[in-house]
Amino acid sequence: MKRGIQQQIFMVLSGVVLLFLAAPLVSLLLGPDLSEYTRAASDSETISSIKTTLSMAFMATVLFAVPGIPLAWLLARKKFMLKNFIQGMIDLPVVIPHTAAGIALLTVVSPKTTLGSTLESLGLSFIGTHAGIAMAMAFVSVPFLINAARQGFEMIPVSYEKTSMSLGLSPGRTFFKVSLPLARHSIINGMIMMFARGMSEFGAVVIIAYHPLTIPTLIFERFGAFGLDHARPIAALFVLIALAVFILLRWFATRKKYVES
């Protein structure tokens, strides 16, 4: 096959995929008129749901980055028993139905369980709370962070860390002074993907905490109660907000990369 013909075929196939992705989003965003956008943006329940969604996704990302990044380093650098099993367990929340993920979480933190009742006696409840929303978001999204960070650590030559320790740095200081800075771009990308996946979560969240409402739950509720015309402006508004957030995050990550280089 000639190179020019191959390129044209690839461009056509690429256009099909891009059209498939863009058409529903463009249709969604162009559907509501300005008054519908204004009404959605001034609705107190919508604003509250947006704040809950963004804040809990951010909290889940930050809190689980602390244990998730060291785990990613261990997976990248160490050989140990059941390593493949652990990697599979990390990936599992991504592939199982997320309502099943919610049920799995419920079997652990429900007040009817030993752990759940103990936590409630200590004043910590996950059922119908912001903490429950953050936990459900983290459960289905933390694999994105761990896998991205692991790949970042794997790209760093082991010799860099060995050289650092041969020069007198402890393993801990080597991790913070060498490994972590060199893998930071992969880690940041993983955190962005975790945040994105968390704020879009519906299935696990609705099982653990239907209220307080997140945006996916609110859209589902408005669609079920009032139909497409009431749900579409909220969905379109949140798509615009999500787009703005990710443009800002990607710009910040890229800007730092270019500044450092």
User: pLDDT by residue (tens digit) across 161-181?
Assistant: 999 998 988 988 999 999 999
What does the pLDDT read at residue 251? Answer: 80
Q: Are residues 23 and 146 in the same domain?
A: no
> What token pair was written down for 127?
């059922």
What does the pLDDT read at residue 205? Answer: 96
How many domains does the chain divide into? Answer: 2
Q: Are residues 17 and 120 in the same domain?
A: no
Q: Are residues 1 and 69 in the same domain?
A: no
Residues 187 and 176 sit within 8 Å (Cβ to Cβ):
no
Which structural domain, as residue segments, surrounds residue 18?
Answer: 1-30
Q: Are residues 18 and 46 in the same domain?
A: no
CA 75 to each of CA 10, 60, 145, 153: distance values in angstroms, whole numbers, following the listed order:
36, 21, 13, 9
Instruction: Give the whole-angstrom CA distance, residue 105 versus residue 175.
Output: 32
Residues 178 and 100 sit within 8 Å (Cβ to Cβ):
no
What does the pLDDT read at residue 37? Answer: 93
Residues 21 and 99 sit within 8 Å (Cβ to Cβ):
no
Q: Are residues 8 and 48 in the same domain?
A: no
What does the pLDDT read at residue 145? Answer: 97
Q: Are residues 23 and 41 in the same domain?
A: no
CATH number at residue 215: 1.10.3720.10
Q: Are residues 140 and 197 in the same domain?
A: yes
What does the pLDDT read at residue 249? Answer: 81
Q: Are residues 12 and 130 in the same domain?
A: no
> Which parts of the chain have pLDDT scores under 50?
none
Q: Are residues 41 and 62 in the same domain?
A: yes
What does the pLDDT read at residue 250? Answer: 77
